[in-house]
Amino acid sequence: MTQRLLIGAALLAFAADQISKYAVVHAMELSRRLAIDVLPPLLNFRYGENTGINFGLFEGESDLVRWGLIVFSVAVVAAVLLWVRRTHPGSRIMQLCAGLLIGGALGNVFDRLAYGYVLDFLNMSCCGITNPFVFNLADVFIFVGAVGLVLFEGKSGDKTSRDPEG
């Protein structure tokens, strides 16, 4: 049952990411308009093509960087999937967090395969601080999933293979 939770969370995160990108970037024509103020300064849509990772790290136009990031992302997805299935097979919260991370990562992998870069469109600023960075829902799911995996590691209450007494 918990494996279904992981798969369901991954599918929902992937779908939400791709639907939001299609709606904002294509249907609302953000790629042409480049900027749409939604609730300024708190929430704005700003068009971005990210060839690197968060905050423009490893940014580059080369196919080597693109394919390297695709391979790295798929390896992380596989590692998280194997780790959670082996060490937390009965933990619903760990399965949920892993699913969010995996779905978000695969959303960004899909973009790299389809466009050659990751589509970003969310920009948030607050309290007199202007944030120059853009991100997408996949990034949110990756962040929430990763933080959840760290916070709930060892606190999920399930017996794991690491407990020889268990």
By three-state DSSP, how is residue 159 classified?
A: coil
Q: Which two tokens stand for residue 110?
A: 């899909």
Mean pLDDT of 11-18: 98
What are the pLDDT digits (tens) for 111-140?
A: 999 999 999 999 998 888 888 889 999 999
Catalytic site positions: 120, 139
Residue 166 reports pLDDT greater than 70: no
- Say what the pLDDT of residue 42 is: 92
Spans of all domains in the chain: 2-131+145-152
pLDDT (0 to 100) of residue 96: 96
Q: What is the pLDDT of residues 35-47, one digit of tens each?
A: 999 998 899 999 9
CA-CA distance, 151 to 145, in Å (whole number)? 10
139: Cβ–Cβ under 8 A, 6 or more apart, which residues? 54, 104, 108, 120
Place of tokens 């798969």: 7
d(CA 23, CA 108): 16
First CA to last CA distance, the chain: 21
The pair of three-digit structure tokens given for residue 25, joined into one six-digit string: 């970037």
The least confident of 61-65, 70-74, 75-79, 120-124 is 61-65
Q: Which tokens belong to 60?
A: 């580059």
